Amino acid sequence: MNPSAPAGPESVTISFRPDGKKIRATRGATVLEAASQAGITLQSSCGGRGACGKCRIRLISPPSAPSDAELRHFDEAELEQGWRLACQVQVETEAVVEIPPSSRMMREKISLQGLGREVEVEPGLSKIFLRLPPPSLSDQRADLARLLDSLGGDVPPPSNLSLLQDLPDRMRRQDFNVTVVLSDGEIVEAESGDTAAQLYGMAFDIGTTTIVGYLTRLLDGAEVAVSAAINPQVQFGDDVVSRISFVSTDEEGLTRLQEKVVGAVNEIIQEACREGGIDATRIYELTVVGNTCMTHLFLGIDPTSLATMPYVPVNAAPRTVEARELGIRINPRGRVHVLPNIAGFVGADAVGVIIASGLEENRGLRVAVDIGTNGEVIVAKDDRLLACSTAAGPAFEGARISQGMRAASGAIDQVTLIESGSGSMTEPRLQIHTIDDAPARGICGSGLVDAVAVLRKIGVITSTGQMLPAKSAPPSASPFLERLESKDGKLRFVLAGPEQSAGGEPICLTSRDVRELQLAKGAICAGMLILLEEISAKPEEVEELLLAGAFGSYIRRESALAIGMLPAIPPEKIRPVGNAAGLGAKLALVSGKMRRLAKEVAGRVEYVELSERAEFHQRFADAMILEPVSGARQADR
């Protein structure tokens, strides 16, 4: 409490130049130890035995007789100028020390790869080991003041009362040797002894369907383990609208949905820790992305307003919460950073996509589409960032498709036309591929896009999506007419016969399935066109189109272009990038700068509400047509 109190005989003040840092160290500590306490790491390959001579410093005051080791490493003139070895000088009274750049350990810069951006590992989280001088009658500083003084005075008292409650025990358990965990310059935890080497964090992408967690060592950004699980909220509905409806009709709905997602996150943490051999209490930070509804539910915030006009979120700002407050089982005082949302249906996952891919950097016209349960489109040009949400629906995840399924084992994920036969007698033939080459169990998003593209090509489906009966089909359809069946008076097209199917039933595409796809792909295409129009750009000018999300990785660009799911963007510019949202969360975990960038970016994005646009309905209707959008250079195959 009283900084002007005389330092006790057990502690001495050391100032470091040119850093300007001043700390109180235990009397008798070496300058090497004191420097480390001040956050200055010196080179010392011999481990402080005076052998390597790398920890050269200049002792400005007080004078000190050179040790044998110092006599070996310096000549008389150098000793005269105060050159010493940091490991040899023990501080007994107030000391002033100059540390030359050549003696400093240059932290190797470690970077993680984003999508066309490199991010230096510089987490907001750090640990500092302190060897505190024990209290005495002449140094009666309070425990907390003792700790803060040793950190150099810039660090505020921890806001957490429970940490203060634990402090006296933590400090005394290992004789006032304590490791402090700092997050964004604030103390979040104090551990007994030296635990500086154990510093972990986890990045989470909470999808409507799937939750993925990346356990990361924050000292170097190394990925220790990845674990994923189905979002257990699916039992209350496949899409966000049905979950919101559950919240607004069931009194305990919000609580239950939050418990579900927190439970799944905890299981993922547990599994990743087991896999990595890590103690979960050494995880002090989580970064979380997800769509706006998911981040609301995760934080226990009622998302009801998202579901009704005018679709406003309760919160869009980034939010940091203590782990214990959410029931997240990492270190209870660890912090959970939920990245900012942009709008009711453009969430923190979209922000993750932006920071992962550097869309906010002024790098020409770039577009990202994240197709999950919803389809978010982001367009970047010059200094502008535009985003919209397209009500694509979960068709691409297999929902609402008669035999639809997720991209799992046995899903038909590719449908292609090949020429079979030999010599001049070749005939086109349908080839299907299933994930894991397993017997077919259903059709997933990429298979759906492929199938419709193929059926359009052979003429079984018209450009308006009508499935033609055998008698009306064009000649190009004739090799496939046996696959056209009528069931309950409705036409369907057999993709895989009973002999190829796991259940012994054929896997078919129905007219209704085609209609669902048209709605989904039309929404995405129309959204993208409207954003491009907004910045007066044409599809063919797009320099890069990032297809994010699992579906984006499986989809075949040619098919997507053929059915007009994407506007006429040159196919070589289209790049599937996998879980870009999750990558964004990971970058925000290993880099405090990226986390701050996420906030800045979210505030900059111009959200375009499609339903407010007069032209949207026309664009949407046009985009339902199953044809390449005019101007597209379609890839030949």
**Residue ranges in contact with a copy of itself by CB under 8 A:** 1-5, 135-146, 157, 161, 164-165, 167-169, 299-302, 304-305, 309-317, 319, 321, 325, 340-344, 602-607, 609, 611-612
Task: Write the DSSP assignment of 541-580 as a string of letters.
Answer: G-SEEEEESHHHHHS-HHHHHHTTSS-S--GGGEEEEE-H
Residues in the chain: 637
Quote the CA–CA distance of 437 and 414 in Å, as a whole number: 11
For a copy of itself, the closer CB: 312 or 481: 312
- As measured in angstroms, the least distance from the Cβ of 371 to a copy of itself is 23
Q: Cβ of residue 592: shortest distance to a copy of itself, in angstroms?
A: 18
Q: How far apart are CA 233 and CA 246, in angstroms?
A: 10
Q: How far apart are CA 31 and CA 14, in angstroms?
A: 8
- Strands, E, within 315-472: which ranges? 319-322, 335-338, 366-371, 375-381, 384-390, 411-420, 427-434, 442-443
Shortest approach of a copy of itself to residue 172 CB, angstroms?
8
The residue (of 143 and 349) whose beta carbon lies closer to a copy of itself is: 143
CA dist., res. 119 & res. 149, Å (int) = 33
**Measured from the CB atom, is 351 or 550 closer to a copy of itself?**
351
Computed on alpha carbons and rounded to an integer, the radius of gyration of the chain in Å comes to 31
Say if residues 233 and 239 touch (Cβ distance below 8 Å).
Answer: no
Closest approach of a copy of itself to the CB of residue 551, in Å:
27
Amino acid at 170: R
Please identify, using beta-carbon distances, which residue of 318 and 567 lies nearer to a copy of itself. 318
Residue placing its CB nearer to a copy of itself in the complex, 605 or 632: 605
Structure tokens at 110: 């470690």
CA-to-CA distance for 174 and 120, rounded, in angstroms?
A: 35
Would you say 113 or 255 has its CB closer to a copy of itself? 255
- Residue 488, classified by CB atoms within 10 Å of its CB into exposed (0-12), middle (13-18) or buried (19+), is exposed
Tokens of 577: 């990038």
- In the numeric block, which tokens belong to residue 155? 């660090």
CB of 435 to a copy of itself, least distance (A): 38
Q: Cα torsion at 155, 161, 165, 168 (round to 10°)? A: 10
CA distance 337 to 455: 47
- Least separation in angstroms between residue 336's CB and a copy of itself is 10
User: Which of 343/440 has CB closer to a copy of itself?
Assistant: 343
CB 169 to a copy of itself: min, Å: 7
Query: Min. distance of Cβ 409 from a copy of itself in angstroms?
Result: 40
Nearer to a copy of itself (CB atom), residue 342 or residue 449: 342
Rounded to 10 deg, the angle between the 511-534 and 616-623 helix axes is: 130
Of 241 and 625, CB closest to a copy of itself: 241
- Minimum CB distance to a copy of itself, residue 109 (Å): 33
What is the rounded distance in angstroms from the CA atom of residue 154 to the CA atom of residue 139? 21
